[in-house]
Amino acid sequence: MRTLIAGLLFVAGCGCSNKAANNPNVINMMVGNSLFTDKARYAPNEAVAFTLEHTAPAGSKVRYRHLGAILAEETLTGKSWTWTPPATDFKGYLAEVYQEAAGKEKIIATVAVDVSSDWTRFPRYGFLSEYGVKTVAETNAVIEYLNRHHINSIQYYDWLFDHHKPLAGTASAPAASWPDLINRTNFRTTIDNYIAAAKSRNMASMFYDLCYGALQNAAADGVAESWYLFKDNAHTNKDKHDLSSPFRSSIYVANPANGEWLDYFSGRIAEVYAGYDFDGFHIDQLGNRGTVYDYSGNTVDMPEGFAAFVQRMSTDFPQKRHAFNAVGGYGKQQTANAGVDFIYSELWGDTPSYADLKTLTEENLRYNSALNCVYAAYMNYDLGKTKSTFNTSGILMTDAVMFALGASHIELGEHILNNEYFPNDNLQPDNTLKAALIRYYDFLVAYQNILRDGGTFNMLNVASSGKTNVVAWPPQTGKIISLPKKVGNKQVIHLFNFANAAHLQWRDVNGTQPEPQMQQNVSLQINVSQPVAKAWVATPDKEGKMYEEVVLNAGDGNLTVTVPAIKYWTMLVLEFVANDFLEE
């Protein structure tokens, strides 16, 4: 994922060494008494294997929830056990290990479970960016870290050789090693080990390449001059993305819709699949190139060219999965129905606010309501110039808004992503962020049938009493923001804490977003016209207990509900009497 403005030009301080691979804190990012599952995703009727990091106290139990319902529970007899969820496809669950003592309950550990036959229904994208010499134990450790966050698909960023010839060597004899664009040495065994480890966890492996990139040696590999794009209509000024040392070449831009380029490049992609067991192709671009011409002097409609490229890849490789990076939304409308399996957008400063995230998500749904979306959104972008640690509060607020909107955020790999050059690891997470991200990804999976499984954002009168000021979306500083969504027979109300926010910019470029001050016992008056059977809250911000039922006071179409606490994000769910709405 690269743009015209920075992308590959970000070299000084890009972390191009194997610093990430040699830093144990990068891989060992899990804290606390974690509860693990053996896979990131499960097929219907597949048993889930659980493992506790430490033995639970005697008499501890485990229960399994789907949204507001308890499905089963049992007494634990050791650190490891199995459970077979209901056979229904595309469901999320929460397992809670707990102990009862003196009439009180203590949650010891939790983990989510995703039962989905197809990972693209609820895509949770991670990345890899370092392919130097690594042991099997090292590659397995990275995949285990991603597995604990339920990452079900991985983008292999800059794994390739030449953009126009991504496979080094031949399909029958792939090279053992090769230089990538910035002259790092990549190794076949490392990539093979990553792919194998990912498959064992039910994670898809997506190889990365541009849809139109060619290096300076492309003619020798069969790329014709007539396939390129030009900045003039007399084909004298070839379009390119200028790069200097240590890069091996600038990137020259082919016409993605040119039939001969498509024939040539489809053959190169076939070589990739013959050489490596990848599950699909993550297709990139360089952003809006301005007015460009083909060799004959005709103006080229690039977004339509992107769609033609995606359609060709989908047609030639129907068993593989495809994603297309709509940089800043460029080409998103054209590619959303061209054969991509989810909508992937790299976001930049032209859509800087939290409110923009909702606008973009609703736009995605208008283009293709069947697809969920992933955002490449680089956090604390300038903070690495002065500090070495992420601003936890900025990241969690952005994840809260994205997850509530139904999107996921590509941010987890060998390190946490903060730059479009994925190997960059200038910033590291503190223990607070490490622990919080586990909870947030558990929450994204456990409640995926509310967050990412249909529904409509709706208008609802939500008022507050006392000192807490609750107002409707969009976000404002000094307020609690409510965002209602109707999902089946449930009315969901997302509550975001901007009470002491410093700004409303999701990028938190300089890491200035402060930690929210906890808002407790927030009383809400909600106008509803249907009888409510049950109300509960869930939050990823609370250690231990995510789920909690709350008491309703109803009268004359108005409900009063007290939400126990709002740190970053709390989700209030009203379950209506089943006869009044379609069941889930």
> What does the DSSP assignment read for 311-328?
HHHHHH-TTSEEEEEEET
Amino acid at 155: Q
pLDDT, one tens digit per residue, over 95-144 is 999 999 888 899 999 999 999 999 999 999 999 999 999 999 999 999 99
Instruction: Tell me the C-alpha distance between 197 and 134, whole Å.
Output: 13
For the chain, give every residue range classified as CATH 2.60.40.1180: 456-580
Which pLDDT band holds residue 6 (cuts at 50, 70, 90)? Answer: very low
**CATH 3.20.20.80 residue ranges in the chain?**
7-32+118-451
The mean pLDDT of 509-520, rounded to a whole number, is: 97
Confidence of residue 17 (pLDDT cuts 50, 70, 90): very low
Please give the CATH number for the structural domain made up of 7-32+118-451. 3.20.20.80
Least confident span in 51-60, 212-221, 305-314, 331-340: 51-60
Residue 340 has pLDDT above 70, yes or no: yes
Residue 123 to residues 154, 354, 374, 422, 424, Cα–Cα distance (Å) = 10, 21, 7, 19, 24
- Amino acid at residue number 470: V
Cis peptide before 179 (omega within 30 of 0): no
Q: Match 């965002």 to its residue by tokens.
A: 483
Q: Whose CA is closest to 418, among 291, 510, 517, 350?
A: 510
Q: What is the pTM of this model?
A: 0.94
Residue predicted with more confidence, 551 or 28: 551
27: pLDDT strictly greater than 50: no
Instruction: Enter the tokens of residue 273.
Output: 């699949």
Task: With cut-offs at 50, 70 and 90, classify the pLDDT of residue 205.
Answer: very high
Q: What is the mean pLDDT of residues 557-576?
A: 94
Q: How far apart are CA 411 and CA 429, in angstroms?
A: 12
Chain region(s) in the chain for CATH 2.60.40.10: 42-115
| Res 32 pLDDT > 90 | no
For 390-442, write each residue's pLDDT tens digit. 999 999 999 999 999 999 999 999 999 999 999 999 999 999 999 999 999 99
Query: Which tokens belong to 447?
Result: 């409640």
pLDDT number for residue 34: 85
Percentage of residues of the chain with pLDDT beyond 90: 88
Nearest to 416 by CA among 154, 27, 131: 27
- Helices (H) and strands (E) in the chain — how many of each? 11, 31
Nearest residue to 311 (alpha-carbon basis) of 211, 421, 439, 198:
211
Has residue 11 got a pLDDT over 70? Answer: no
Average of pLDDT values for 241-255?
Answer: 97
Q: Is the pLDDT of residue 584 over 50?
A: no
Dist CA 415 CA 419 (whole Å): 11
Tell me which fold the domain 456-580 belongs to: Immunoglobulin-like (2.60.40)
Which token pair is 418?
Answer: 């903060």
pLDDT recorded at residue 5 = 34
Residue with tokens 């699909």: 280
Token digits for 324? 């297309």
pLDDT band of residue 529 (cuts 50, 70, 90) is confident
Would you say domain 42-115 falls under CATH 2.60.40.10?
yes
Check residue 582 and give its pLDDT: 41
Residues 353-359 have a mean pLDDT of 98
* Mean pLDDT lowest among 6-20, 125-139, 471-485: 6-20
The pLDDT score that the predictor gives to residue 310 is 98
- Rounded CA separation 171/543 (Å): 50
| Cα-to-chain-centroid distance, residue 326 | 15
Alpha-carbon distance 584 to 582, whole Å? 7
- Specify the higher pLDDT residue, 25 or 372: 372
Q: Which of 184-198, 489-503, 556-570 has the lowest mean pLDDT?
A: 556-570
- Residue 579: pLDDT band (50, 70, 90) is low
- DSSP annotation string for 506-550: TT-TTS-PPPPPPEEEEEEEEE-SS-EEEEEEE-SSSSS--EEE-
- The DSSP secondary-structure symbol of 57 reads P
Count of alpha carbons within 13 angstroms of residue 282, beta-carbon side: 28
Mean pLDDT of 187-198: 98
Average pLDDT of the residues in 483-512 = 97
